[in-house]
Structure 1
Amino acid sequence: MLTYPKIVAFDLDGTAWYQWLNGKKFKNLVVPHQKEDNLEYVTHNGQHSVRDKRNHQNNVILATDFPRIITELVMRDVHIAIVSRNTDKALCDRALYYFQAKDPKTKEDRSIIEYIEYDEVKNESKLNHFHRIKGWSGLPYHEMLIFDDLPLNLEVETWEGVTFKLITHKTGITWDDFMSGISEWRGNQRINVPFNSDFRLLDPHPNKMLIGYVGTDIDGAKAYAAGERRPFSKTTRPARWGYGLYVADNPQVAMFFAQWKRDKNISQLRVCKVYARDRDTFKNKLAKVWFWPNPAYMTDNVHSSKQQIASKQLELDKHLQEAFDVKKPYILFSRHNYMPPMGQQEYQLSINPNKRFNEMVIYPQIQDALMYGHVLTLTEARKIHMTGKLPKIQYEHHVKDWNIVVPPATKQDCERRGEHNFFK
């Protein structure tokens, strides 16, 4: 049985319709002080549009497939939301009143505004829009999907777990965009293994699998232990593949990142053993790719704007899908250069300075769906490591077992670095 999100949301300008319904362009009003009363509906060559009665160039044209999409969602009993940063809600609502979609039950056309259950038109972060929708609906973010033409709004996926589908067509959303977004949302659901917090059980996740280690502070550790992502905060710690959980296969690397650029109070530092809640889901239902450090697709979260960071992340997603058929949700593996501070005595590490180390990037939606952490203090981790009971996992040895796609360019990068036959 095909499943659908509980809530599907649409941006307006550039998504539901193309061009910008700009209230500031309404100058010579037919009806003073009521810009929405100066709109009129017109059709031409099968296109549906609304325009300024006095200035016909001030118009928006409905995306051709949008009425069909609305009808499909109504037929599937999906709640429909509008989430737009347009500054004139009354104007947008009037446009949605003029545009129509067929009611699948009565077969009659009705104003699209009548199908809208959550009407969020306000010039503010879409995180705020979705916070209100979640409060009103009582539904979790992972049951929601948004279509939007601005990369910046990827933040609702990054920080809250709403599936985000970018619209790139100048003429707004298409049916193919819609089905692609639904498919991506379904992919996120396929890897969802609910976190079992009942620790009265001998093992709440008996099919779990250790997949690496992460260094963090006490707040991050609490979130990971509860099967949650770390709460967002502005950081000076680089995230070169976008925002996510950066996991090491070497526990000493995790110990380094537990300390690097953090408060030196050792009582606040933690190392988490990172587990997949279900090994079969991790191995067989989740896409994985080992990508070489290509600057064209790497982010600079310290110096870049939110828009630039989101754009880079979406460019990486697009490249991996088009070049290697790796579709979201996916995990990314890469090699990272040795960092000189790793050799400083204060960190108490013995990491080979002549070798790169492995990293695995788990993006937030995958954290929500499949991961959790077992927490150790830094002191505990050091002691256990000395006994040999925190083993190196060596991701390169699991390429076949974990179904990791390794592009030729990645192998060539390893050869150039003297890492011959790295992927055995």
Structure 2
Amino acid sequence: MGKSEQTFPKIVVFDLDYTLWPCWCDTHISPPISRSNTENAIVDRYGSEMAFYKDVPEIIAHLKQNGIKVAAASRTCAPDVAKKMLSLLHIGDKRASDYFDILEIYPGSKITHFTFIHKQTGIEYPDMLFFDDETRNKEVEHRLGVKFMFVTEGVTWNLFHRAIEDWREHKQQRTSTS
């Protein structure tokens, strides 16, 4: 294996809605919310349950076990609901929110989210990998150099592995041109 095949992003950033879970927390969830008694899920005021996509907890745990930082970058209009969901959902026996190093959850441009992630971590943009379900957010790749991975049905292991390979190619291209 060459050096580029062995490298990993220093931080993996996830959008939340339709990336980590199958809803928009600002329109599909009606507070107050609580943890489900039977599943690793949240329940809203009407009894609707919502949970992570199947592979998400394992992927996030894998990142942390391998020393890779994890962040959220979401432009939701309901940041308190999103943060509460992350504190109620679990990964293993810990709250999901405990796995995130940075939470940039508020309305606005993903460029702003990534500017703050960079300032807080000192991690350069080419060392970041970003999963999001909205193609408009690919602007972080064009404008900043963050590798963007388009999500169509939640983050899965297959998508994750493909994203790591794409990130390696992206990083190698950026390194060889600078």
* CA pair 192-176 structure 1, distance change in 2 beyond 3 A: same
Q: RMSD across aligned C-alpha pairs, in angstroms?
A: 1.9
- The one-letter code sitting in structure 2 at the alignment partner of 1:88 is A
The corresponding residue for 1:422 is none
The separation in 1 between residues aligned to 2:87 and 2:64, in whole angstroms, is: 17
The separation in 1 between residues aligned to 2:177 and 2:115, in whole angstroms, is: 23
Instruction: Render the CA deviation track for 1:359-396: whole Å, top value 9, x for unaligned.
Output: xxxxxxxxxx516xxxxxxxxxxxxxxxxxxxxxxxxx
- The one-letter code sitting in structure 1 at the alignment partner of 2:111 is L
The separation in 1 between residues aligned to 2:76 and 2:37, in whole angstroms, is: 23
The separation in 2 between residues aligned to 1:127 and 1:86, in whole angstroms, is: 15
Matched-pair contact (CA < 8 Å) for 1:23–1:91? no
1:370 aligned onto 2:174: no
Matched-pair contact (CA < 8 Å) for 1:21–1:60? no
Which residue of the other structure, out of 36, 41, 47, is the alignment partner of 1:49? 41
Question: How much identity, in percent, do the aligned residues show?
Answer: 30
- Post-superposition shift, 1:39? 0.8
- The one-letter code sitting in structure 1 at the alignment partner of 2:143 is W
Matched-pair contact (CA < 8 Å) for 2:51–2:89? no
Which secondary structure does the structure 2 equivalent of 1:5 belong to?
A: coil
The corresponding residue for 1:12 is 16
The separation in 2 between residues aligned to 1:25 and 1:133, in whole angstroms, is: 27
1:179 aligned onto 2:161: yes
The separation in 2 between residues aligned to 1:145 and 1:83, in whole angstroms, is: 12
- Post-superposition shift, 1:61? 2.6
> Is the radius of gyration larger for structure 1 or structure 2?
1
The separation in 1 between residues aligned to 2:137 and 2:121, in whole angstroms, is: 21
Q: Does 1 or 2 have the higher relative contact order (CA < 8 Å, sep 6+)?
A: 2
The separation in 2 between residues aligned to 1:67 and 1:97, in whole angstroms, is: 13
Matched-pair contact (CA < 8 Å) for 2:77–2:106? yes
The separation in 1 between residues aligned to 2:126 and 2:145, in whole angstroms, is: 5
* CA pair 142-13 structure 1, distance change in 2 beyond 3 A: same
Q: Which has the higher helix share?
A: 2
The corresponding residue for 1:161 is 145
The separation in 2 between residues aligned to 1:144 and 1:96, in whole angstroms, is: 21
TM-score calculated relative to the size of structure 1: 0.39
Instruction: Render the CA deviation track for 1:239-293: whole Å, top value 9, x for unaligned.
Output: xxxxxxxxxxxxxxxxxxxxxxxxxxxxxxxxxxxxxxxxxxxxxxxxxxxxxxx
Gapped runs of 5+ residues in structure 2? none
- The one-letter code sitting in structure 2 at the alignment partner of 1:182 is I
- Post-superposition shift, 1:13? 0.6
- Post-superposition shift, 1:122? 0.6
The separation in 2 between residues aligned to 1:192 and 1:125, in whole angstroms, is: 24
The corresponding residue for 2:33 is 39
The separation in 2 between residues aligned to 1:192 and 1:25, in whole angstroms, is: 40
Matched-pair contact (CA < 8 Å) for 1:146–1:165? yes
- Post-superposition shift, 1:24? 8.2
